[in-house]
Structure 1
Amino acid sequence: MGKTQILWGIAPIGWRNDDIPEIGAGNTLQHLLSDIVVAGFQGTEVGGFFPEPAILNKELELRNLKIAGKWFSSYILRDGIEETAKEFSDHCQYLKELHADVAVVSEQTYSVQSLDKNVFKEKPYFTDQEWQLLSEGLNHLGKIAGEHELKLVYHHHLGTGVQTEEEVDRLMAGTDPALVHLLYDTGHAYISDGNYMNILENHIDRIQHVHFKDARLNIMKKCKQEGKSFQQAFLQGMFTVPGDGCIDFRKVYQKLLKHGYSGWIVVEAEQDPDVANPLEYALLARKYIDRHLLNVAATN
């Protein structure tokens, strides 16, 4: 990867959802990967239904696609560092065999993102002692990632203990910059704090992976008023792809370019594929990227 090379990917979550397996269950791996090619993206992240590396690498090679990374649910606070590290080592070995770049980590102890709870008001909070343990654990996982030629990127996420700007600040302050990097997600930042630029500007030096997720403001307000859970909110259409919501990705992209960001930008939007046709929305996102981001960047 060149010094300022950006790779564009799109996540499989628009086709199939790991948390609700029945959603998009008819979309096969071959279907998903071929749609990604048609939409003009260079790769994707690993979904929960993806096969072993030998099979997956064959399908990727046939389509000239790459794997950016894969989500890992850490339970450092619940299970301890040693137990989590064993599972993470296997996770990293899988990613190494796929020639991936990052391991996406999110601490899921106390998380409400898969529960029937108000995601806007019932998120968990960590004690000072838990923050210390989490930081130590992530530093340890970061070393394991490095041993597998990967970067650990932490995903701030709605419904978890690391969601808000303040919590991201604390995590970054408590971890080793050489071992723990940041996954910057526009959608989670915006819905959590009503602002998607602060985390980007405050931690641009730590960002090694990016998710471009848009939000529909009217649906977000309705879900917030009704106290919806995370899953209920995305099923109602709170998230969408760039160009279909209220986030101005031009500001985000220009900031990344000015800083010389090099790495993946992955389009990601949890949606019900029976409502939002995955290929249609992938093409919509690609059109927005080409018209409003790449063309603008080329003229600057």
Structure 2
Amino acid sequence: MTRPPQPPPSSPSAAPLPGSPPLSRIRVGSAPDSWGVWFPDDARQVPWQRFLDEVAAAGYEWIELGPYGYLPTDPDRLAEETGRRGLRVSAGTVFTGLHHGPEVWERTWAQVADNAALARAVGAEHLVVIPAFWRDDRTGEVLEDRELTPAQWRDLTRLTERLGREVRDRFGLRIVVHPHADTHIDGEENVARFLDATDPDLVALCLDTGHYAYCGGDSVQLIETYGERIGYLHLKQVDPRVLAEVVARGTPFGPAVARGVMCEPPSGAPALEPVLAAARRLEVDLFAIVEQDMYPCPPDRPYPIAERTRRFLRSCGV
């Protein structure tokens, strides 16, 4: 596919608000998640070639790697496939269960190292770290207690700091921890507890606006309170009506996504314009990666949504 022409950055729709600093330090991208990709290999997911073709055609220049093994893991091939489509990689993604303590470190590091090495080899600077789920995102099976003990909190924070140090020293990447529904780092209380207990030089936050809203958090307030810890953004919205239903019923995250709890901007919450304005006031370089959880979804559904979302974000000035 060929990419459609893009409006110049100075177009009226992209003009910042009077008296506001420019949004040029926010770099917008998308991810396999917005194409319904949750696993390295799944018959219900689009082939990786189609994802790359369509994300470029929709007007994005940055992508995340998604689940390790979905995109080619040979760095030369991945660089060639992304480069010829005009795409660059912002980050890799890993899942961790560091609250289980030192006994899981070696197993965790083995998969982190593979992801970090590939991300670094193709020019990324970040590694998105997602905590382990306390219930299975496919089946809803409860895997462990929803609340961590004080000892588990200590293991989580100390080992996350170690992860940040090792990833920085060995691969030159910055870890950004992603609060996520159905994990132990989710809403306002647990996110604040986690940030207050970790070293800002080693651990930054990937603020996912959809997940934070799903768990009752206010993204603008978080940016204003912990601005120095915000190292990365995922732009996402929830459908308030569906969210109320899944919260009332205790629906696990996977089935909630299948019911459409994550929706196309700008129809959901939180409003992204104030989030971007708050991020702009930080006056730092940030990636803002669009993610609309849609697993599973028809293969022809993601691309039109991606195009519309990119147009909407341009109207917000990014």
Same fold (TM over 0.5): yes
Picking from 96, 119, 138, the partner of 1:74 is 96
Report if aligned partners of 2:138, 2:255 keep a CA contact under 8 Å in 1.
no
Residue 14 of structure 1 and its aligned partner are, at CA, apart by: 2.3
The one-letter code of the counterpart of 2:93 is W
What residue number does 1:32 align with?
51
d(CA) in 2 for partners of 1:21 and 1:241?
Answer: 25
What residue number does 2:28 align with?
8
Range with bigger deviation, 4-13 or 183-192: 4-13
Residue 21 of structure 1 and its aligned partner are, at CA, apart by: 5.1
Q: Are the structure 2 counterparts of residues 140 and 231 from structure 1 closer, same or farther at C-alpha, using a change threshold of 3 Å?
A: same
d(CA) in 2 for partners of 1:210 and 1:276?
Answer: 26
Report if aligned partners of 2:66, 2:92 keep a CA contact under 8 Å in 1.
yes
d(CA) in 2 for partners of 1:84 and 1:17?
Answer: 22
d(CA) in 2 for partners of 1:232 and 1:187?
Answer: 16
The one-letter code of the counterpart of 1:7 is R
Alignment coverage as a number of residue pairs: 290
Name the Cα RMSD after superposition.
Answer: 2.5
d(CA) in 1 for partners of 2:114 and 2:77?
Answer: 18
Q: Are the structure 2 counterparts of residues 23 and 14 from structure 1 closer, same or farther at C-alpha, using a change threshold of 3 Å?
A: farther
What residue number does 1:142 align with?
164
Report if aligned partners of 1:4, 1:260 keep a CA contact under 8 Å in 2.
no
* Correspondence list, 1:158-197, <5 A: 158-193=181-216, 195-197=218-220
Q: Are the structure 2 counterparts of residues 6 and 195 from structure 1 closer, same or farther at C-alpha, using a change threshold of 3 Å?
A: closer
Residue 115 of structure 1 and its aligned partner are, at CA, apart by: 3.8
Find the residue that maps to 2:182 and give its secondary structure: coil
d(CA) in 2 for partners of 1:162 and 1:114?
Answer: 19
Report if aligned partners of 2:175, 2:204 keep a CA contact under 8 Å in 1.
yes
d(CA) in 1 for partners of 2:284 and 2:161?
Answer: 23
Report if aligned partners of 2:264, 2:309 keep a CA contact under 8 Å in 1.
yes
Aligned-pair identity in percent equals 23
Q: Are the structure 2 counterparts of residues 286 and 175 from structure 1 closer, same or farther at C-alpha, using a change threshold of 3 Å?
A: same
What residue number does 2:9 align with?
none
What residue number does 1:251 align with?
274
Picking from 85, 102, 116, the partner of 1:92 is 116
d(CA) in 2 for partners of 1:140 and 1:234?
Answer: 33
Find the residue that maps to 1:72 and give its secondary structure: strand
Q: Are the structure 2 counterparts of residues 149 and 92 from structure 1 closer, same or farther at C-alpha, using a change threshold of 3 Å?
A: same
Q: Are the structure 2 counterparts of residues 150 and 71 from structure 1 closer, same or farther at C-alpha, using a change threshold of 3 Å?
A: same
Find the residue that maps to 2:228 and give its secondary structure: coil
What residue number does 2:289 align with?
266
What residue number does 1:298 align with?
none
Residue 4 of structure 1 and its aligned partner are, at CA, apart by: 6.0
What residue number does 1:51 align with?
72
Unpaired stretches in structure 1, ≥5 consecutive residues:
296-300
Residue 93 of structure 1 and its aligned partner are, at CA, apart by: 1.3
Range with bigger deviation, 179-188 or 264-273: 264-273
Find the residue that maps to 2:227 and give its secondary structure: coil
Query: What TM-score do the two structures reach when normalised by structure 1?
Result: 0.89
Picking from 237, 242, 249, the partner of 2:260 is 237
Residue 19 of structure 1 and its aligned partner are, at CA, apart by: 4.7
